[in-house]
Structures are given as C-alpha cells and as structure tokens.
Amino acid sequence: MKLELRGITKSFGALVANDHIDLVVESGEIHSLLGENGAGKSTLMNVLYGLYEPTAGEILIDDKPVMFAGPADAMAAGIGMVHQHFMLVPVFTVAENVALGGETTGFGGILNLDDTRRKIREISARFGFDVDPDALVDELPVGVQQRVEIIKALVRNAKILILDEPTAVLTPQETDELMDIMGQLKSNGTSIVFISHKLREVKAVSDTITVIRRGKVVGSADPGAATTELASMMVGRAVSLTLDKADAEPGEVTFKVSNLTVMNDAGQRLLNDISFSVADGEILAIAGVQGNGQTELTEAVLGLHKHIQGSIMLDGRELVGRSVRQVLDAGVGFVPEDRQDDGLVGEFSIAENLVLDLYTQEPYSRWGSMNRAVIAKNAKEKVAEFDVRTQSSQDAADTLSGGNQQKVVLARELSRPLKLFIASQPTRGVDVGSIEFLHKRIVAERDGGTPVIIVSTELDEVLELGDRIAVLYAGRLMGIVPGKSSRELLGLMMAGLPADEAQAQLDAPAAGSSGAGDVAPAGDTEGERS
C-alpha cells in the first residue's frame, strides 16, 4: 500500500507544528522520519492516525484521497500505530487490550475473547513473540508490552505501521531485535514509518530517510549518508558532535554510595546493592536504558525514597534518613529528570521558580515573610547570566520553551555553593543551541571542583560528559568504565552484562554468543562518527 501526505499543515493556535509537509511512503519500505525532539514528527503521525485534524493538506492512500475523522477511520484504511507511550490499559489482559475497539461478540454484545486469543497466538508464532494472551499488561516487561502494541496493529490488518520512537525504552539488544521484526514485517509487504532522532538506528534500518526540522521537511537522504551530514540536516547547521572539555582533575573523593538498595512500596528492589564514589572535580555519567533504576538512584540521594538500605556519604555526613530539605542544605544541587513535573511549578513566575528551594533563606525571606524585591532582583540577574529568553521574569514558567525552562532550573541549582551536583537528563527535549550552553555550565561546575553526577539515557551525552561511566541494568550496577569506552561495551552493559563479561565478549568476537553478534552492526557507524 502506498501512502502519500500532501501539504500537511497542523497548527495549535499560533504555533505551527507541521508546515506543508509532503511525504511519500512506498509499499513495503521502511521510511524513517528523522528529527530532533519537538521537530513535529509525532504531530505529523498523529495527524496521519486521525488523532489530530490537519489544518490544511490531504492524505492519499494508493493515490486516492482519504479523510480520517478519528483513529477508527485510519485503522480501517490500514494504518496502525505504536505510540511512544504505549496505549495499553494496564489493568486489562493482553487479549482484552488487543480486542478493545474491535471486539468479537456473541449475542447481546457478550465478549468472546477466544477469537482474539487465537489471533494473538497466530501472530506470536509467526514473529516468534512469546506473549501470553491472558497475562495482565501491567505485569509485562516493557519490551513485551511493545510487542502487544505491534500485535494490536497487526490484528487490525495494518498495511502501514507507524513506530513512534520505539527504541526509547529498549536496550540496544532489544532494539536490534525490534529491527529484525521490522525486517520481517517489511518482507511480508508491510510499510513502516520509523520515527526516531537516533541517527545510528535510522541508518541501520531505513530504505528512505526524510528529515524534519521545525515542522518542515528539510530534505531526504540515503541511508548510506554520513552521520555528520544527517546530523547537520537535522539540527540545521554543522554541528560538532563533541564537546571541547579538558580532562578531569579529580581531587579528593567526597561522595560515596555504599551497598545502596531501594525498594518500592510493593517490596520490589528498584536498586540492588549499588556502590560507587565520585571525586571532587569529576563527572560520573550514569548510563542505562530508561527505567533501570537511574531515577531511583538520584531520588534516593535527594531523600525522596522511604525504603532504603545502605549508606550515602557526602563530605563525611550520612545522607540516608535525611529529609530533602536537609540534603539540599548539605549542599546538593539537583536537576530532576522531568523539569515540568519535578523541577518547576509551571504557574509560578520565573522569579518564584528561581527561589523554589531557596525561599526559606535570607535574604529571600525573613521571619516567614518573603522579600519580593530581593527575589525580583535575583531573577533579573539569573535571567541575564543564564541567557533565559523571556519577556519578563514575572512571566509564568510554563510560557518558556523547554530549553529555557531547563536553564531556569540549572540557574537555581547552580546559584549556591555546592558540594555535589546531580543532573538527570539535563538536555532532554532541549534545542541544540541550549544543549551546548547547558553542557558548558555543567563542565564549568566540575572545573570549579564540585563532584558531578549526570544521568542520561542518551549514549552521546554520556560519552560527551562522562569522565567515568557507570551503567545500570535492572537496578544493578554493571560496572564503571572509563569515559572513552566504546559504544559496543556500553551497549552490552546496558543489555545486562557486567563490565568484565562484556569486555571479554568484545575481545573474543568468535565466541558466537548471540548478544555480541546482535550488537556488532553498530561498529561501522561508530567508525563514521569519529
């Protein structure tokens, strides 16, 4: 089936998310949409899937124009979508989720799930999935949930499958398996639209690549194109993919985590017996696929978790058992992974957000009463120093772009003498210009002698910033390796191999272990990158 988008425009008020986008997906091809976070890829696909109504433009299937009033129409036309955030009801079983919206029923609308179960088993057998139709989705690992989403689309006879950032939650190994599945789907005649901002994956899997920037198509490329060329198309200028930073000069070890275990209320170990330390003037980058304990690690340091065993020492003082307030007062600067959820109060002004964790201190307040003049003056200084693009520091924080919001958080956290600086996903959803600025400020803090911990799921960022790199997998520390380690090594560790085993596998590629074989293709792109 051939899909064509002609002049699709989608605007939200004054914001134009898609600007006259033309796109042709030929039958049986894997067509990648490459673009930065916020470039408009997901909006475009939501238009295609009938979730948004386009402001202008038309969609053609096999050269006939179609109109989608909702996802039901899109599905009927043979379009299936695997969303970035899975659209699965957690308390339903796999079969119930797959059936939903297209249920087989008996007399009086009575559900008959046997038919659905049979189809799930059929598709599972065809693609080698191991999916139990009666398992509760909530209890399935992320990789399996993604397969349920693919099954959902295939059960509805999707001829065009949209995969929206499908690899964000997968290990490199799971990613490679997904790519195998995509290959099989393609050979069955299914067209695939693959949305990603990861150059390596796009190059490895695509037949055609279309690059989108700021809501516009900026061109198409051949999968054989050089990584740097794709990158500069994506961000709109030549980018140096490496940050100029001097080698670290580690001082005394002042931050030490020993045998740290964190549990949730249900008693699951989210972090299991972690030990590491960070020296003054050093950046420890923590890598890993999302959801492997990174969030819990940073939150444990900050004192946000109840069920903790082990010890976290800063400057000879125990942090475990202290309140967040006490941890902050002990000199910890903290940039949470989700700035809108955890870092900012969106309705508060920029000025108020800049004192969000300093408001109890003089001169911002005295005798329980806030000093507005001082707070306004502080805001003016910080906005200038961190180049926050805003009309006024009295504007609400949620009027700012992602990058500027992150600058506000960073400005606040770096505006006092620190003994430890922790930043989670410091540049997620941030434009390239701001990324450079933010990275430089982080390195500057390191050079000032502060121990720094950076958590990131982006390997590029980890490799750029880390003086040493720790890898977390399923709540365990796979090891700590030097900052200039290879992608393959990190990939294997992110997939659950301890550092020494991963290194051994790389040293002996002939061993034929499945893990090494699957990850190997990454090697050629690595060569182009440097």
Question: What residues between 103 and 132 interact with other proteins by CB under 8 A?
Answer: 103, 105, 108-111, 128-130
E strand or H helix at 263, and its extent? Answer: strand 253-263
The CA distance from 62 to 67, in Å, is 13
Binding status of residue 411 toward other proteins by CB under 8 A: no
Amino acid code (one letter) for 401: S
Cβ-proximal residues to 444 (8 Å cutoff; 6+ apart), any chain = none
Stretch that binds other proteins, among 25-33, 321-329, 451-459, 482-490 (CB under 8 A): 321-329
Q: Which is nearer to other proteins, 57 or 236 (CB)?
A: 57
What count of other Cβ atoms lies within 10 Å of the Cβ of residue 69?
9
Cβ-proximal residues to 409 (8 Å cutoff; 6+ apart), any chain = 335, 336, 339, 343, 344, 353
Q: Which is nearer to other proteins, 191 or 405 (CB)?
A: 405
Angle, nearest 10°, between helix axes 499-507 and 487-494?
130
* Total chain residues near other proteins (CB under 8 A): 100
Question: What residues between 450 and 469 interact with other proteins by CB under 8 A?
Answer: none
Binding status of residue 373 toward other proteins by CB under 8 A: no
Binding status of residue 48 toward other proteins by CB under 8 A: no
102, 126, 128, 223, 343 from 123: Cα distances, Å: 17, 5, 8, 30, 43
Binding status of residue 160 toward other proteins by CB under 8 A: no
Among 247, 265, 510, 512, binds other proteins (CB under 8 A): 265
Nearest-5° Cα angle at 487, 486 to 491: 125
Q: DSSP E strands: which ranges in 372-518?
A: 420-424, 452-455, 468-473, 476-482
Least distance to other proteins, CB of residue 460, Å: 21
The CA distance from 209 to 32, in Å, is 5
Q: Which is nearer to other proteins, 122 or 252 (CB)?
A: 122
Q: Which is nearer to other proteins, 313 or 358 (CB)?
A: 358
The CA distance from 307 to 305, in Å, is 6
Binding status of residue 331 toward other proteins by CB under 8 A: no
Place of tokens 């397969």: 147
Contact 31, 210 (CB under 8 A): yes
Binding status of residue 340 toward other proteins by CB under 8 A: yes
Binding status of residue 472 toward other proteins by CB under 8 A: no
Angle, nearest 10°, between helix axes 372-385 and 402-413?
120
Q: Which is nearer to other proteins, 166 or 496 (CB)?
A: 496
Among 62, 65, 67, 91, binds other proteins (CB under 8 A): 91
Q: Which is nearer to other proteins, 287 or 443 (CB)?
A: 287
The CA distance from 203 to 226, in Å, is 9
Binding status of residue 521 toward other proteins by CB under 8 A: no
Stretch that binds other proteins, among 187-195, 285-293, 440-448, 458-466 (CB under 8 A): 285-293
Least distance to other proteins, CB of residue 227, Å: 27
Among 188, 259, 275, 323, binds other proteins (CB under 8 A): 323
Among 35, 38, 215, 343, binds other proteins (CB under 8 A): 343
Binding status of residue 520 toward other proteins by CB under 8 A: no
Q: Which is nearer to other proteins, 383 or 497 (CB)?
A: 497
Binding status of residue 215 toward other proteins by CB under 8 A: no
Nearest-5° Cα angle at 94, 157 to 185: 35
The CA distance from 181 to 144, in Å, is 13
Among 56, 317, 359, 521, binds other proteins (CB under 8 A): 359
Among 34, 81, 283, 452, binds other proteins (CB under 8 A): 81
Question: What residues between 480 and 499 interact with other proteins by CB under 8 A?
Answer: 495-496
Question: What residues between 164 and 193 interact with other proteins by CB under 8 A?
Answer: 169, 171, 173-174, 177, 180-181
Binding status of residue 449 toward other proteins by CB under 8 A: no
DSSP code of residue 103: -
27, 184, 194, 207 from 188: Cα distances, Å: 11, 6, 17, 15
Least distance to other proteins, CB of residue 143, Å: 5
Contact 197, 35 (CB under 8 A): yes
Query: Quick one: tokens of 291?
Result: 């959801």
Least distance to other proteins, CB of residue 93, Å: 11
